[in-house]
Structure 1
Amino acid sequence: MNKHSILLRIIIFFILALVATTALFKVMHKHEFTNEREKLRVHYHHVAMSVMRWKIGESTYDELLIALKKDKISVVDNSNLYKSIQGLKKFDTVSCAKGDFHLYEQGSFRYVIVPPEVGTMLLKDENTKSINVDYVWWLYAAFIAIMLILFLSIAISLYPLKHLQQQIRRFGEGDIDIDFTSTRKDEIAEVSNEFNKSAKKIRDILHARIIFLRNITHECKTPITSGKLALEFIEESKAKEKLNNVFTRLELLLKEFVHIEKITATDQKLQKKLYPITDILGQATDMLFLEPDSIKNNFSKRRLDVNFELFTIVFKNLIDNGLKYSQNNDFYIECEEYGIHFCSRGDEMDESLEHYIQPFTKGEMKSSESFGLGLYIVDAILKKHNYTLSYRYENGYNCFTIEL
């Protein structure tokens, strides 16, 4: 369990509460027991006072018996019982007038042996009541039961959080048609319903974006194709060359839009397999009309678990970017255990990587054929693969790294 989990903190709180409650009820039980025992001592002290008044002659024996009878005490004339009682473990001792009255329990009665200086007198409590404070433990059991019920209700109330977490994870992975609504009335349900409203707005925005990209690419293809065909019937001139460059740039822009549409389509499931890096490099160089041997690399037979089509675009864009901004075409690819480095000799970038992975952001050199979408597309594809793009400048080389 996560050490920062709310449920773990609640469990710790209830454990501490259980320990504290147990200690409190133990103290309460001891206090109640002591209190009841003190009441008994007061009762038997009153009996002892009656015996001592008879001893010093302040009352007659008959008056003693009457006083004892009021306290529901009787005198037992049984020497054998007297001796057997003496052999028992003392229950308590009450001191009165420098004499100790010892209390014993046998069967369901309590007995009092008067001090030896008074005589061999054995008193029996006819109304013996044991000290019973078990109601404290009944209260304790009821309190613990309430705490357990409360704990279970809180744990059950928190369970939808786990379900909501799983739904949010699925939503983040591209399953945007999840329904987050909840019919419960607690705060977690309120969060779920509010999140559902936000998710619906995001779904609408994403759908609108995808439809826009698809429509713009579809609507632009026809006039571009028609325009390029019409150029074939125009005589060679500077105007024709400029128009041809315009149509070429528009075609490149549409290709970039297609790539963006592919990686931002939330309903697309990423199909991944193990592919040799050399195959990915070969496909990328074919797209750039380059020979695979023209790119210096140290690739071996290593394989990557990726979507071949999308990862080819990553290699193509990073290679194209490296060659485009390199000095004297000094560019190489180096594969290590934890990353693939695309390094080109050149001046250090003016801005941080975060600036260049924004759409329509590009460098200053040789940028006439660039729309500033290359690194943006690379970063988006790598995020879909749970990889990271990083940058460093070292020994005169700009190095973009795919951190695996």
Structure 2
Amino acid sequence: MRKGIFSKMIAAYTGIIAISFVITSAVLSFWFQNFYFSQKRSQITTEAKYVQAVAFQYIEGNMSVQRVNQTLKEVMAYINTDIKADIVVMDMYGYVYAVSNPKYDYLVGTQVNTKDLNEISKNQEAIEKTVDHSDVFKKAVRLYEIPMVYNNSFEGVIMIATPAADVKHSVNRVYQIIWISAILAIICACIIIYYFSQRIIISPLKKINDVARKIAKGEVEKRVTIESNDEIGELGESFNFMADAIEKAENNRREFISNVSHEIRSPITSIKGFIGGMLDGVIPREKEKYYLSLTYDEINRLTRLVNDLLDLSSIEAGHLKLNLSKININEMIRFTVIKFETKIKEKNLKVDVCFDNNELYVMADKDRMSQVVTNLIDNAVKYVYNDGEIKISTKEKYNKAYISIYNNGPQIPEGDFNHIWDRFYKSDKARTTKMSTGLGLPIVRSILTEHGQDINVENKKEGGVQFTFTLKIVK
């Protein structure tokens, strides 16, 4: 698991977060750089107005050069608390008449050239006369030229030089904060993703995987406990639902094997006992015919059980192929009742057969439908009271045939209604297993299901039990 989905998920999330933070940090850095220089230029321009006012005083003759220099130094002493810069004031011909730094007093009265400006810039590599921020770190100084216009006449230039190193240092500090914050955010995000992924996804999946392995080893009662309302919770519920189905199937398999073993062992034991008794001379010769007849009945019972098992297995495996044809269900019921005539007379039963019409044609497999009718009538004859009553009726309703078989025997307990269709289930535990294999009703329901029909059972208010199934009518 750790080398699979977990590592892939962490790698994907880390990559996405890292790319997002890198892009965000780059955008913030670029934005801050432009914002910083815009603010810097705005601040320098604002401070230059003070210098410009002093220069205009000099131009009007209200202030001497010495006074201008002194005032300029005082102004720069004030603004240098925020901006480290040197100021040079020149007339329209390029002659310097005021400087802020006493170090450059020798330039006063001289015409400034490139060499002198480089000296002011502390002999750095180049001078930038434009505010082009894209190349700022390649320059040693940023030089701002602010023209002085007095009475609509160009009177000179104020040149303000700021060391690029100071600018670079300020910007770099902000860059460091941005990128260190981004790296820390990526690390924290990865830790949080790891924790929540481990708790929300990986841990539940590991639980499901562990329980799945235990179920595969035969511990079908194991379940997972996942308390969440998301897809992982739904997966856990689906897994438990599957585990319930597997446990039910496993229990059914064990019960089926147990029942089959019991049902087969019983007649085989009887057959073995009867034949063994005759071979050992325990059974008198004059009674051998009687015990041979009992042995024959047990063999028939065993044959019936095996045939029922084969039929039910074939139906449930989907190997049953129906040969649908038009059949008269009323005629089939009459014929089946006649087959049970002997048993009916033995129990002195009253059989009432009532049809709405003499003929009722349905679409069904003749052999399988005969098996359905036979099993249901046989079930009614087995469980009806002696001297009891059986009612068989057919009627048409909504293009379907409804076939009902009623007997006034004991009613089915409420707790048994959901089990009478189970294999080998016998509602009346007091009856001997020789009366039924417990496969008749499951076979009936399986055959009707293959026909696309259904069957239900109900306890009648007047007493007794009634089975009703449907078939498709053919006109």
Scaled by the length of structure 1, what TM-score is found? 0.47
Scaled by the length of structure 2, what TM-score is found? 0.42
